[in-house]
Amino acid sequence: MIEEKLTAAVIEGLKALYGGEVPVGQVQLQKTKKEFEGHLTLVVFPFLRLSRKKPEETAQEIGAYLLAHTPEVAAFNVIKGFLNLTVASSAWVELLNVVHADAQYGITAVTDRSPLVMIEYSSPNTNKPLHLGHVRNNLLGNALANIVAACGNRVVKTNIVNDRGIHICKSMLAWQKYGNGETPQSSGKKGDHLVGDYYVAFDKHYKAEIADLVAKGMSKEEAEAASPLMNEAREMLIKWEAGDTEVRALWSMMNRWVYDGFDETYRKMGVGFDKIYYESETYLEGKEKVMEGLEKGVFYRKEDGSVWADLTADGLDNKLLLRSDGTSVYMTQDIGTAKIRFDDYPINKMIYVVGNEQNYHFQVLSILLDKLGFAWGKGLVHFSYGMVELPEGKMKSREGTVVDADDLMEEMINTARETSAELGKLDGLTQAEADNIARIVGLGALKYFILKVDARKNMTFNPKESIDFNGNTGPFIQYTYARICSVLRKAAEAGITIPAALSANITLNEKEEGLIQLLANFAAVVSQAGEEYSPSMIANYAYDLVKEYNQFYHDFSILREADETVKLFRLTLSANVAKIIRLSMALLGIEVPERM
């Protein structure tokens, strides 16, 4: 790479000029600011102790040395203590050849010895369908898994389904009381939607019950404690934990409806998992680990029989692990799931993709796992992300005001179909091709709009903005990819073959050099995105690349270029821009259409 060659040349130059050696880390090369001439800027201040000269004089001497001894340097200029280097066209062509030769440029191959990273995402409850919040979680988790794998790690994508607890019993009880035997088959509804309806029904009847009790003279707290409906739900949970045959049969039937619904949603969203765990199968393991910790003195028991962890020495408080009636809490389940996962896989790092409202939970979990002896406990990563809302505001599951994931995806596909048709982007396509393009564009718009935002920030998802074919959107990037594919098809039809490697004997313009520099940066961007767990870095890189290419496409001819050498160069450049767009978007879980 150019930066590596220049770094080595600077080190040699310093030795030749001043008789001293410097470590690689002291050679700081950065992209030259737009207001100055050059491609790369060298900061010379770290070398003044060797030169014992002024910054400007030192920069001039280093520049002159590089110009005389380094073919990659065509010119230089000095601004105070900064040496701006202009890279020779031949070096840019060589760099493009490097990118061109590697179909998976920027992606690190995985071996059997690669570290194993487990990434948990989705984590739905089986009392309701997936909603917009789950969409952000799934898209972030899937993209993160792709990026971590692209950085040379083995990745296991995992999901923990919260399929037990009082919230599940609420849906079950409501169906038992008000369902009249309704099923997904009899109603024509997806199973997760059907069960979600009964979760909302429970809340509706519960609120009415509370209002009635308050009207009869109880306080709100007294009414909540006396609620027959809520007490029935609690009794159902106790029966479930005791293995009651009737309750377990109802639970199995309704959960199966939900699982089938989830699978359909995941398929449409384009996400999946290597291993799915269920809370109903892990919480008992968690109770065992808690009891083991109790025996070892890691935890303590209160007089009412409940079990706690004292984390005051860690700057936190006391954390409940088992209730007085022996039932478990979320923390218990997470400990059990961790134990089973550690038994199943030789995990080197564990990443949990969970919203920022659970920051404290994962701070505690990390400490508890470490105390219980899990090697990766202290180093677990909580990939904490912000809330996602619509322009209308927040959503509430119990009140049935959530934005359903299935409805949202269908709306995005329909909007993409209408917008594409209005702009004439579906002209000449068969119905099947048009439908597939609408699906790719609609889902691409949704995914990109969510993933381009820094995950740590709260965000507002605006469906209308996301589907725009101009600006920082998925459709804009997809359309540019399709445009390049069209150019490459026309070239092939004209009998033009893109060479395996380009001749370095060509003079490039500023736009071409800038594009090659951007292409070559892809490898560093993937690496940084993996280190910082940042899908938005990939998204915004893809937008910058597409924006630069479109300016180039507007300003310069490709197929109509008279000089055959230049034409082949621009076709090769375009093909590699398309490749990097495809690789970038694939990391985000986004398809790109070849026609549009």
Inter-residue contact 202 to 171 (CB < 8 Å): yes
- Reduced to 3 DSSP states, what percent helix, strand and coil does the chain have, rounded to the nearest 5? 60, 10, 30
pLDDT in tens, 315-368: 999 999 999 988 788 899 899 999 999 999 999 999 999 999 999 999 999 999
Mean pLDDT of the chain, nearest integer: 94
Whether the per-residue pLDDT at 22 is higher than 50: the answer is yes
pLDDT of 394 > 80? The answer is: no
Pairing of strands 388-389, 40-43: unpaired
> Would you state the pLDDT for residue 393?
53
**What's the length of the chain?**
596
Question: Taking a C-beta distance cutoff of 8 angstroms, is the pair 29, 39 a contact?
Answer: no
pLDDT at residue 376 tops 90: no
pLDDT band at 423 (very low <50, low <70, confident <90, very high): confident
Average pLDDT over residues 497-510: 92
Task: Quick: pLDDT tens for 268-295.
Answer: 999 999 999 999 988 889 999 999 999 9
CB atoms within 10 A of CB 228: 10
pLDDT exceeds 70 at position 399: no
Local structure of 55: helix, strand or coil: helix
The DSSP letter of residue 80 is T
- Residue 151, strand partner residues: 108
**pLDDT band at residue 401, thresholds of 50, 70 and 90?**
low
CB 315 within 8 A of CB 81: no
Q: Mean pLDDT over residues 461-482, rounded?
A: 92
Q: What is d(CA 132, CA 394) in angstroms, rounded to the nearest whole number?
A: 11
DSSP 3-state assignment of 399?
coil
Q: Which amino acid is at 269?
A: M
* Residue in the structure block whose two tokens are 């609420």: 170
What's the pTM? Answer: 0.91
Kindly state the percentage of the chain with pLDDT values over 70.
98
pLDDT, average across residues 21-33: 92
Nearest to 154 by CA among 123, 109, 121, 122: 109
Q: Give pLDDT, residue 398.
A: 43
Beta strand spans in 375-505 (E): 381-385, 388-389, 459-460
Distance of CA 85 to the CA centre of its chain: 36
- DSSP, collapsed to helix, strand or coil, labels residue 267 as helix
Dump pLDDT digits (tens) for 321-334: 999 988 788 899 89
CB of 369 closer than 8 Å to CB of 335: yes
Query: What are 165-222's pLDDT values in tens digits?
Result: 899 999 999 999 999 999 999 999 999 999 999 999 999 999 999 999 999 999 999 9
- Domains in the chain: ranges and CATH: 2-87 (3.30.1360.70), 121-129+156-271 (no CATH), 406-587 (1.10.730.10)
* H, E, C per residue of 474-533: HHHHHHHHHHHHHHHHHHHHCCCCCCCCCCCCCCCCHHHHHHHHHHHHHHHHHHHHHHHC
Return d(Cα 430, Cα 432) in angstroms, integer: 5
The three-class DSSP label of residue 114 is: coil
Q: Is 495 exposed, middle or buried (0-12, 13-18, 19+ CB in 10 A)?
A: exposed
